[in-house]
């Protein structure tokens, strides 16, 4: 799609001067960078990546908070305007439909043409405009205006995800890619849990359900905040990891991973990942959208009590992400994905036959195991894409649009049958996603494990592995050893460095 010409060719960057990771840090305030050029950021160390990762993790938390608040504001809007459940499905279609349009087109083009910094800023500004649009929608009490505003907000958030997810995954040693994204998205989950609790107990306490003035001012506050955040990111230290950097990193690890550069049309793992993510996100949103009604039907409780149960389930979702992030320090992510998807399949099937509070508990456990799926599918899908990393990432973000399809179908089945039987729709989505870890563990184990075993970004006696200075020093050692005979023989393969006496 857009921005294809911004990808480096196979030979681009490999035959030109390579900057060091120190240069990448020194240039992190640069306002523009060529996606086809090397920056030295392919070998950033943990220490060098901490500050930019922390900044973007803060962004994850803040937009998770804003997104959680958005759910409450949307509910107040629906109650005030008397929007039916069927029309509410249109609201989800407007929001998630933006994910289908933005990442493969303008969002993906911006991240490849101008880099991560300007994509962060663009996404925040679009988000802010969408939040401002709620003011006239509230004044006119317009459902169409509300849908349009949600579409713009979805466009902004999809643009943010087009940049934030691949940035976290690629900024730092490649062996910890899954851990970094899982941990960062854990804070997003915390923000999403905190926002509704604060909204109900602080922002909208003792307010008239028909009065939209508090909603208008809250949206205005969100807009002002995200515009301020855009200014902060303009001045923040954000090193640019280009597609040329990722191509170089893939070449350096080829001895461990078996990497061979392929055209985009042959990136089969990516295509399966996009399909799996589409079905998974659709199923996840389908469960979340019907959770409260399922709880009312299952346990015979009120909507308010069902909302409390959903808050607990969201808390389990956040805990699950931190738990999965910790596990990824010791267990291969492809195994974690397989285990969590297996548990989802077991408990979503059990929820169709369980009633009472037990049924609510079973569905809550589904949310716990959903926690790690999106970031893990994302990082495993872009492993080994090399020069196609940014474009492939935008396709996976676009697959979030599955959230526009599954909830409406789930609601339709619930209207004709019941909410327990309706869980068969998310079950089908999860089944497709479940095939992805089976595929990975069967056909891509060596490649995925190779990235986890590489020492790029780590320091040894010769410097930082994978850095330009490191290879120069290794070359000088090899030259010296040739002069001194067989004192030490340096064995070097692509992506594998070792000494023997």
Question: 176-193 pLDDT, tens per residue?
Answer: 999 999 999 999 999 888
DSSP characters for 265-289?
A: GG-HHHHHHHHHHHHHHHHHHHHHH
Averaged over 97-104, what is the pLDDT? 92
For residue 247, the Cα-to-chain-centroid distance in whole angstroms is 21
Task: Pick the more confident residue, 461 or 49.
Answer: 49
Looking at residue 87, its pLDDT comes to 67
For residue 48, the Cα-to-chain-centroid distance in whole angstroms is 22
> If you ran DSSP here, which 8-state letter would residue 461 be given?
T
Looking at residue 498, its pLDDT comes to 39
What count of residues does the chain have? 501
Q: What is the pLDDT of residues 251-274, one digit of tens each?
A: 989 889 999 999 999 999 999 999
Report whether pLDDT(11) > 60.
no
Measured distance CA(403)–CA(93) in Å, rounded: 8
Report whether pLDDT(490) > 90.
no
Q: What mean pLDDT, rounded, does the chain reach? A: 85
CA dist 156 → 69, 102, 117, 414, 479 (Å): 16, 9, 14, 32, 53
Q: What is the pLDDT of residues 20-32, one digit of tens each?
A: 777 777 676 666 6
Measured distance CA(424)–CA(7) in Å, rounded: 41
Question: 458-476: buried (b, 16+ CB within 10 Å) or exposed (e) per residue?
Answer: eeeebbbbbbbbbbeebee
Looking at residue 64, its pLDDT comes to 81
Q: Which two tokens stand for residue 451?
A: 């990235």
Q: Which two tokens stand for residue 195?
A: 């926002």
Task: Pick the more confident residue, 293 or 83.
Answer: 293
212 — pLDDT class (breaks 50, 70, 90): low
494 — pLDDT class (breaks 50, 70, 90): very low
Give one word for 172, left, alpha or beta, with left for phi > 0 and alpha for psi -120 to 50: left
318 — pLDDT class (breaks 50, 70, 90): very high
Looking at residue 264, its pLDDT comes to 92
Q: What is the pLDDT of residues 326-382, one digit of tens each?
A: 999 999 999 999 999 999 999 999 999 999 999 999 999 999 999 999 999 999 999
Averaged over 274-295, what is the pLDDT? 93
Backbone φ and ψ for 187, nearest 5 degrees, come out as: -70, -30
496 — pLDDT class (breaks 50, 70, 90): very low
């Amino acid at each position: 799609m857009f921005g294809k010409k911004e990808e480096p060719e196979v030979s681009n960057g490999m035959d030109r001067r390579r900057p060091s990771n120190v240069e990448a840090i020194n240039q992190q305030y640069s306002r523009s960078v060529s996606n086809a050029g090397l920056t030295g950021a392919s070998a950033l160390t943990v220490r060098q990546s901490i500050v930019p990762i922390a900044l973007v993790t803060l962004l994850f938390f803040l937009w998770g908070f804003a997104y959680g608040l958005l759910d409450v504001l949307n509910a107040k809007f629906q109650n005030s305007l008397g929007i039916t459940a069927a029309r509410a499905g249109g609201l989800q279609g407007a929001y998630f439909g933006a994910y289908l349009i933005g990442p493969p087109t303008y969002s993906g083009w911006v991240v490849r043409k101008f880099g991560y910094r300007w994509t962060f800023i663009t996404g925040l500004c679009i988000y802010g405009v969408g939040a401002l649009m709620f003011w006239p929608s509230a004044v006119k009490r317009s459902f169409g205006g509300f849908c349009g505003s949600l579409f713009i907000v979805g466009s902004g958030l999809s643009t943010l995800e087009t940049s934030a997810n691949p940035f976290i995954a690629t900024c730092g040693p490649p062996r910890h890619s899954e851990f970094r994204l899982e941990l960062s998205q854990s804070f997003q989950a915390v923000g999403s849990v905190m926002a509704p609790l604060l909204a109900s107990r602080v922002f909208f306490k003792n307010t008239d359900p028909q009065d939209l003035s508090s909603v208008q001012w809250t949206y205005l506050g969100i807009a002002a905040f995200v515009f301020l955040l855009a200014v902060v990111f303009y001045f923040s230290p954000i090193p640019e990891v280009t597609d040329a950097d990722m191509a170089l990193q893939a070449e350096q690890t080829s001895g461990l991973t078996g990497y061979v550069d392929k055209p985009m049309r042959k990136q089969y793992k990516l295509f399966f990942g996009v399909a799996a993510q589409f079905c998974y996100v659709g199923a996840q949103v389908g469960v979340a959208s019907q959770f409260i009604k399922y709880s009312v039907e299952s346990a015979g409780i009120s909507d308010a009590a069902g909302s409390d149960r959903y808050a607990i389930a969201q808390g389990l979702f956040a805990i699950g992400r931190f738990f999965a992030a910790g596990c990824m320090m010791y267990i291969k992510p492809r195994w974690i994905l397989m285990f969590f998807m297996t548990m989802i399949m077991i408990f979503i099937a059990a929820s169709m036959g369980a009633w009472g509070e037990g049924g609510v508990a079973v569905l809550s456990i589904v949310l716990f195991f959903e926690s790690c799926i999106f970031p893990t599918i994302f990082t495993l899908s872009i492993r080994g894409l090399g020069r196609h990393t940014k474009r492939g990432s935008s396709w996976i973000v676009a697959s979030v649009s599955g959230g526009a399809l599954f909830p409406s179908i789930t609601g339709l089945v619930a209207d004709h049958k019941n909410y327990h039987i309706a869980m068969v729709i998310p079950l089908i989505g999860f089944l497709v996603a479940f095939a992805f870890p089976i595929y990975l563990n069967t056909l891509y184990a060596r490649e995925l494990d190779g990235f986890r075993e590489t020492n790029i970004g780590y320091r040894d006696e010769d410097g930082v592995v994978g850095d330009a200075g490191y290879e120069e020093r290794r070359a000088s050692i090899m030259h010296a050893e040739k002069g001194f005979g067989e004192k030490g023989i340096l064995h070097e393969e692509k992506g594998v460095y070792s000494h023997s006496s």
